[in-house]
Structure 1
């Protein structure tokens, strides 16, 4: 059969689908991966065939100055109140409404060629199955347009389906409050109507979902899910010679993710605290951080080697522990290689707040001296801006104050704590000495290795990408419409 994946143009969205795409390809199926044309080479680089969408010479949609901005906190919290959400539920809603829907908005636009290019390709190539990134919601529209079966590939806790279930439960209350019954449907509807496609639950949830999360990490919802083991993949390069042998003393990996390094200068003061904490320990630290993430760090400790990048699948087998940002790919890779985890997380809400500033005045008081381009303060983001891609100042900018944590860091930290295979690092509340003691504890106490072994066995109990291929074949046969 023919299988078309759609992915948001980011390595954090591409790498999770690679083992599943390879499994289908190795089983004899034709596989294509559709994404923005500027990211097509990245797809080809992982051994898959790209379909470039939109203008290859243009920045992708999130880098356009007219990209959708996050809704304001008042709007977000008004929904949460009408939906009757508790504190934990409010965080799931914020993740969906203030973060994820922004990404969804980028590739359902009818004023840009990307979504239309996807539908046109699907009509010509006629895939039997479309597997779509939940943030790339033109995928199910293309599937409907060509009669293909379609499924979501989950990248983290399913805030999409969880939130839409809550919206459906409170439909009457939302109508009474003058709020939309389904903000995601509102985003997708113009594209769907362009092709005469009904916006219904199937278009929102997929006919089924491929769920690579371990038990206990997902969110309860009404979608149909197929379990799959999250097989780690993080790119390839020539294996560095220093990784040929196991280190003589404990090695700790330090990684703070691929996403925020592109648009947040510094790391909320977290990196300097970690560097100070590890400086006096009898360990070797491999810090995969770029210059922006190192902002605020003075002299590098003698026991720290900083390299901008090395695949985690190369590094982790040599490590006794990992300090990381709580991202799903890093978390899963650490389990797969049986490495105890120190997950960076804070107690603050995910809620994003906006601050408007004139560039001539500096983006904010903490950014004084950042230069004419207004380099972003640590912990801030603005629409259509990325280091090295779009850095030009505009007449007026809106700066969004981000919480000092990854979107999934709290769920992953809770999982690690619950399984006993690591600890939580909160640089907002812990002293350098407390951070140092936590790191040493994870490296030296056997109980954390026991917890890591238990988490590994739970991970191993899930079917591999290869093992779910026959089920995907059967579901495709039962659900395609031609």
Structure 2
């Protein structure tokens, strides 16, 4: 069986689809990952065979702006490598491709933010491409795989096949401090994911946040892109900063402070780590609200500071609350257990095999 996986956006999209793609490859199927040029290195870092379809990174909500270029690139690819099934994510362009090829289409995302309205708009904007290909309508996905734990799914979310979250990120040479806990002190991880250089904290500073945390006796790690380490490292003293494999270091942490990325949040949930989330967009806010609503995190809205408090003080107070109150860790472990009970990518792959064989 040939499976075509498609991704756009940030490296997180590659990491999110990698476990299912790897399961398919391990089962003996042929796979290709169609990706934007900025994501090719991330695909290679997790062992996925990838082909570039566009030179620039696509953002969710830009289907109408890039649909013709992306669709033509995918059609050209499939003239010489025809898949039996297409797997897509937030973009609906792969769905158009699957309809044109008359093969099953699987949508594979973490559905935590309400997307029905944006999805309807995106499908409407793709109408010219449907007409160009002689298609009268865009059929619904044959399968919707949702990586979101059932307890966090928003009300009214579409029916989905739940799948277990399996962390997958680019690796590097490991050192003992990455996979061992420090003795006699808490460990706090700070990260802005792969999309940003560093956490954006209006009216605040990373140095102050680090100082507040180390003043409690905690060890601070900053997982960041290499260019962020080069830019911010000199002002942070002996704090470890750089590319740290999140799946390796997460189980050694007592708290993580981050931007609200779905991949980051689920990797931390998987490891049972409480979170303080400062969302940097609407989707991140939906993630933060869901995890905080379960009791496994606190959310700090950086654009609505609390009266009489600076952002630094609010963040520091939130960190102290999580580290001193075991309830957050307990709720996170409950969520981690739920996630661990879901079907693995290898199990869900059987459903893809059945679709392709039908």
- Do both share a fold (TM > 0.5)? yes
User: In 2, Cα distance between the equivalents of 1:44 and 1:123?
Assistant: 24
Matched, 1:246 2:172: no
Higher CA-based Rg? 1
Instruction: Report the secondary structure of 2:67's partner residue.
Output: coil
Structure 1 counterpart of 2:253: 319
Matched, 1:212 2:168: no
* Cα deviation code 1:142-188 (max 9, x no counterpart): 21222211011114425333555xxxxxxxxxxxxxxxxx5313432
User: In 2, Cα distance between the equivalents of 1:115 and 1:142?
Assistant: 7
Q: What is the CA-CA distance between 1:210 and the residue it aligns to?
A: 0.9
* Cα deviation code 1:405-458 (max 9, x no counterpart): 233332222233332223223443353334323212212322222112111112
1:15-54 aligned at under 5 Å gives the runs: 15-37=15-37, 39-54=39-54
Determine which of 99, 107, 131 is the counterpart of 1:193.
131
Instruction: Report the secondary structure of 2:282's partner residue.
Output: coil
User: In 2, Cα distance between the equivalents of 1:211 and 1:108?
Assistant: 24
Q: How many residues align?
A: 350
Matched, 1:285 2:220: yes
User: In 2, Cα distance between the equivalents of 1:267 and 1:221?
Assistant: 33
* Cα deviation code 1:114-166 (max 9, x no counterpart): 4212112224322111001222x2212221222211011114425333555xx
Q: What is the CA-CA distance between 1:48 and the residue it aligns to?
A: 1.3
User: In 2, Cα distance between the equivalents of 1:335 and 1:154?
Assistant: 17
Structure 2 unmatched ranges of 5 or more = none
Structure 1 counterpart of 2:316: 436
User: In 1, Cα distance between the equivalents of 2:259 and 2:141?
Assistant: 30
Determine which of 267, 274, 281 is the counterpart of 2:209.
274
Is 2:224–2:244's contact at 8 Å kept on the other side of the alignment? Answer: no
Q: What is the CA-CA distance between 1:297 and the residue it aligns to?
A: 10
Structure 1 unmatched ranges of 5 or more = 63-98, 165-181, 346-404
User: In 2, Cα distance between the equivalents of 1:440 and 1:267?
Assistant: 18
Q: What is the CA-CA distance between 1:339 and the residue it aligns to?
A: 0.9
Structure 2 counterpart of 1:308: 242
TM-score (norm 1): 0.66
Instruction: Report the secondary structure of 1:338's partner residue.
Output: coil
Determine which of 99, 105, 130 is the counterpart of 1:144.
99
User: In 2, Cα distance between the equivalents of 1:194 and 1:275?
Assistant: 55
1:46-445 aligned at under 5 Å gives the runs: 46-54=46-54, 59-60=55-56, 62=58, 100-102=60-62, 104-109=63-68, 112=69, 114-135=70-91, 137-157=92-112, 159-161=114-116, 163-164=118-119, 182-200=120-138, 202=139, 205-221=140-156, 223-248=158-183, 249-261=185-197, 267-272=201-206, 274-289=209-224, 299-300=235-236, 305-345=239-279, 405-427=280-302, 428-429=305-306, 430-431=309-310, 432-445=312-325
TM-score (norm 2): 0.87
Instruction: Report the secondary structure of 2:61's partner residue.
Output: helix
Is 2:112–2:287's contact at 8 Å kept on the other side of the alignment? Answer: no
Structure 2 counterpart of 1:394: none
User: In 2, Cα distance between the equivalents of 1:426 and 1:223?
Assistant: 28
* Cα deviation code 1:202-224 (max 9, x no counterpart): 2xx42221111012433455744
Structure 1 counterpart of 2:14: 14
Instruction: Report the secondary structure of 1:31's partner residue.
Output: strand
Q: What is the CA-CA distance between 1:292 and the residue it aligns to?
A: 5.8
Q: What is the CA-CA distance between 1:45 and the residue it aligns to?
A: 2.6
Instruction: Report the secondary structure of 1:210's partner residue.
Output: strand
User: In 1, Cα distance between the equivalents of 2:178 and 2:233?
Assistant: 26
